[in-house]
Structure 1
Amino acid sequence: MTAYPLDVARPAFLAALDGLSALLDHVDDTDLHARSRCHGWLAADVLAHLHLGLVEMLAGFPARTDRPADSDLATYWTAFPGSELPDWAHERFARAVASAYARPTGQIAHVAMTLRGLRRLVADLDGPYRLEFQGHVLDVGDFVGTWVVEVVVHHLDMTVALPDAPAPPASGLAVVRETVTRLAGPDVVAGWGDDTALALAATGREPGMTPVLG
């Protein structure tokens, strides 16, 4: 299993965080109360879900291990296939978290704090190592790469009703393309010239291919 290079994953992740920060600077309460690409979720619900995940990511970095990697940038997602039924318990929990704020933008300050912590931690990583996360062992470059995908896809989820909102960075979308290529095969991906369209189809947000990302 060849590790995804940290030197590729790191700048893409930092750019994805910058893109998410730009989006959060752009939105107001009405924007976050708009529909998302996730069925039944408002944009604020998606943001709450993403924030819960990023906090979990932050806690994952110290879980270093000498065990060999058993998952990588692509195979990590095979535990969460795009065709699975929704996790109603988590969806309801994310919605409850978002609803706990007095107004939709109330959670932005908390998200921004987490983004600052992640930005500093990832920028300061001194080299490759392996870590345990959600029952998997991943090289840190693969771990960071999976979260590039998560941030980019949910960024797209939150902007379906906001055509003028900042888009995810090209480097982040390129990591999504690499992940989909590994999962679906280069022949499937070859016909997709637009990385955003590929990301939406590969996650089941738009038609065009069998979903391979959750």
Structure 2
Amino acid sequence: MDEFLRSWAALRGAVAGLGDEDFGRPSGCAGWLVRDLVCHLVIDAQDVLITLATPVEDEPTRDAVSYWDVVEEPAGDDPRAALVVRLAAAYEEPWLLKFHLDDLGAAAGRAAGLADQAGRVGTKDQVLTAGDYLRAYVLEWTLHHLDLVAQLPDVAGPPEEGVARSRELLEAIAGEAFPSSFSAADVLLVGTGRRAADEGEALALGALGARLPLVLG
């Protein structure tokens, strides 16, 4: 819970501090500008609210690790990504995106704080405890915070504890630990294909490198 709230607050705070010109810069998500990424965060906040307001009685079918599916790299244009780009452009003014994220994001944070961690929620035809769902989202927030600052070196990155927990989650998803020579941030960036491993990293990865990137869906 604390890691979810800290990671989410830090990400929203970073967006709130952006200048208008920053919204037109590339993000760490291939093909997305910062404005597109922020629009995606608005949708994420909606998803959190919807999920926490969707209690179910069934037994959990997933946990914070198995919530994530490793999927094939999408072939061609992803219509969902294209929709985000069109929606982001419709905002026209960066302050509108900031306002919408602050409004929905604060509500998502309050809902998370009030959630019964042991209660069960439904999303994507899955059942999880609310606690596991929120733990899974620490990885979502941390990856997108790294995406946000990829071309914005003066903007603060994600909290260290969230990066460390996200490394643990990604290694659990991979079923294998990354080399200890990798920083937690590098595990996330290389592991999810946000940047390519350099020669030394590729050597250290060994057989694991052939399974990368881990595209999470």
Settle same-fold status: TM greater than 0.5: yes
Corresponding residue to 1:76 among 60, 67, 70: 67
RMSD: 1.8
The share of aligned pairs that are identical, in percent, is 26
Q: Which runs of 4+ in 1 moved over 3 A?
A: 82-87
- 1:102 correspondence with 2:92: yes
2:71 match: secondary structure: coil
Q: Distance in 2 between matches of 1:45 and 1:55?
A: 16
Q: CA deviation at 1:26?
A: 1.9
Contact 2:8 2:141 in 1 (8 A): yes
- Quote the residue 1:47 is aligned against: 38
- Quote the residue 2:195 is aligned against: 206
Q: Distance in 2 between matches of 1:26 and 1:136?
A: 35
Q: Distance in 2 between matches of 1:113 and 1:91?
A: 23
Q: Distance in 2 between matches of 1:26 and 1:71?
A: 36
- Quote the residue 1:4 is aligned against: none
Between the two proteins, the alignment pairs up a number of residues equal to: 203
- Does 1 or 2 have the higher relative contact order (CA < 8 Å, sep 6+)? 1
Q: Distance in 2 between matches of 1:202 and 1:87?
A: 22
Q: Please, what TM-score do these two structures have when normalized by structure 1?
A: 0.87
Question: Residue 33 of structure 2 aligns to which amino acid in structure 1?
Answer: L
Q: CA deviation at 1:104?
A: 2.8
Q: Distance in 1 between matches of 2:168 and 2:72?
A: 17
Q: Which residues in structure 2 correspond to 1:1-214 (within 5 Å)? A: 10-78=1-69, 80-81=70-71, 83-85=73-75, 88-186=78-176, 188-208=177-197, 209=209, 210-214=212-216
Q: CA deviation at 1:59?
A: 0.8
Stretches of structure 2 that go unaligned for 5 or more consecutive residues are: 198-208
Question: Residue 83 of structure 2 aligns to which amino acid in structure 1?
Answer: F
Stretches of structure 1 that go unaligned for 5 or more consecutive residues are: 1-9
